[in-house]
Chain A
């Protein structure tokens, strides 16, 4: 009888562990590394699409004293691309965790639920940072996008937008049973925010009730932050408030997503 074998002493498993969060982020990045096509699309596609917008407005005359349409739209798209791409990628990735049984398995290990979600946020946040650096560089050098403020602030806002996309994607995956359903959450979650974010029509020119909706949608603040960077050389207080609101919305979505991860299911 060997029942006297003493169990190895290990840390309790409920609270957040930076080590497990990092291990999970590394695992998600490794999965990405084996998927070259997704990497290529993630890194190159926003620059290509931005090029299309550049060509679209290249020969449209600009009113004197006004910023060119491409400067305004292109800058905003720098925040919208990472949001959309990361929302899609994350909602599918998390749905795969759910349907492949790996999620249930992870929940039987010492990994805390928030470790898992933050791991995803960290991994795709890093991917988004790389994407933003490439896109912003191409936009400002090749397409001559004119940004009055600091380009690094544009990258920062793009990364925060990406994290918002990740967080909403993680949350949305809880309501999808299949990948078909998951991709259809894209128009549900992304398009209304895009329509009402102030790019198509400035927020103060919308009907009052649309303004009210626009003001509770986080992408509105991301777009406002980018417009602030486009306008003024120094970082404005409005911009920082906007960035904080977007980050807060991302954290809220992450917390809600954690609540949807049930260890015990029927």
Chain B
């Protein structure tokens, strides 16, 4: 069963085409990594999945409904790359507000705060936090809604390695509980932590694979090198 299916998706931003007719499916209950360099179209694709991106053509279906449908709004969580929380509220006030939007209460808010490791600083104003901590508040505000599909744009940027490992553990626990996660990253090192991988480059889908398969196809144990080999192979075909 697929949580998200994308068919022939074309997106323009300004005069530039940023997604060139992508088609793929994201299975339920897995962590799907969206990998690619900065500017490859990752954020645009994620925005299309949560239904805030104007698209030129193609279809995006989430949990069997067109992306952005009103009844998907309580079932899909989205965490933008730049933390989008209120700087002039405390951590707890932020998470409680988003909890109330999803029909949750303060116990759920406390759990979400604990999940991102911010229980000790829950009473602090977000403006007094570091960039990485703000990102975790933003993540907690999505986790608190217990969404079935969680779309996370570069959630681990700037985090210390211990916390990064903890968060990836958290993502896999959510997936094991039947949730679907789409996690973008520009760090190939994180690709190995995903169940499935989508590799984007210049608006094209280079690979829709698993880490194991990617290593085999790219003839390298190192995912970064495997990715490079795939791109070179494509360019050879194109030339």
Contacts and interface: CB of A to CB of B under 8 A. Distances in A.
Name the interface size band of chain A: 35 or more
Nearest to B14: A266
B212 interface: no
A122 to B, nearest CB: 15
Given A104-B84, A108-B50, A266-B54, A34 B89 contact: yes
Interface string B47-63: 00011111000000001
Interface residues of B, number: 45
> Is chain B's interface secondary structure helix, strand, loop, or mixed overall?
loop
B65 to A, nearest CB: 11
A101 B102 contact: no
A109 B98 contact: yes
B110 to A, nearest CB: 17
Interface in A233-266: 263-266
Nearest to B3: A3
A7 interface: yes
B145 interface: yes
A101 B82 contact: yes
A102 B71 contact: no
Given A31-B86, A109-B73, A264 B178 contact: no
Nearest to A15: B70
B53 to A, nearest CB: 6
Interface of A: 1-5, 7-8, 10-14, 19-20, 23-24, 26-27, 30-31, 34-35, 100-102, 104-111, 263-266
Interface of B: 1, 12-14, 28-29, 50-54, 63, 68, 70-71, 73-76, 78, 80, 82-90, 93, 97-98, 100-103, 125, 141, 145-146, 148, 176-178
Given A7-B63, A102-B86, 12 more contacts: A2-B28, A7-B148, A13-B73, A27-B97, A30-B93, A31-B88, A100-B86, A102-B85, A106-B101, A109-B74, A263-B52, A266-B14
